[in-house]
Amino acid sequence: MASLLQYVLAIKLGLFPVARWESLQHTVLPALALAATPMAFIARLTRSSMLEVLSNDYIRTAKAKGLSKGQITVKHAIRNALLPVVTYLGPLSAAVLTGSFVIEKIFGIPGLGSQFVLSISNRDYTTIMGVTVFYSILLLFSVLLVDIAYGLIDPRIKLAGGKKGE
């Protein structure tokens, strides 16, 4: 995807710079390359989740009460449809960060991914372990944020730590 974007948008059309990291305009192609595939999957997941939620009984009940489509969608459907999407977004954020290694190499961006690749070729085990631990912490933090978001999206989901028997 990154090479295709470089070829079409930078070389053929001349809309963006091909590589390097100097201005805001240099960030557009790497961001598009990183986001394109996950964005498509999130759109498909959101659509299928919304279709499933919209076929539930409580949606039919809301329609029978005379609520408009907008009210049904905003107040009832979106909250329940977001749970699978939020579940996917946690590990996805870590995957996008680790996938940036390749994007940094293609676009000539001096970043942590480039340092990681260089440390592998130089057998710098300290840097390799440090970057691996850093990305592991990012993954754990993103999963924690997903768990917190669950409680905000669906009040029926409680955070652990309550009294027994509740």
Proportion of the chain above pLDDT 70, given as a percent: 95
Helix (H, G, I), strand (E, B) or coil at 134: helix
- Quick check: 91 pLDDT over 70? yes
45 pLDDT band, cuts 50/70/90, is very high
Supply the angle between the helices 112-121 and 125-153 in degrees, to the nearest 10.
Answer: 140
The answer to whether 131 and 119 have CB atoms below 8 angstroms apart is yes
Show me where the domains of the chain are located.
2-153
- This prediction has a pTM of 0.72
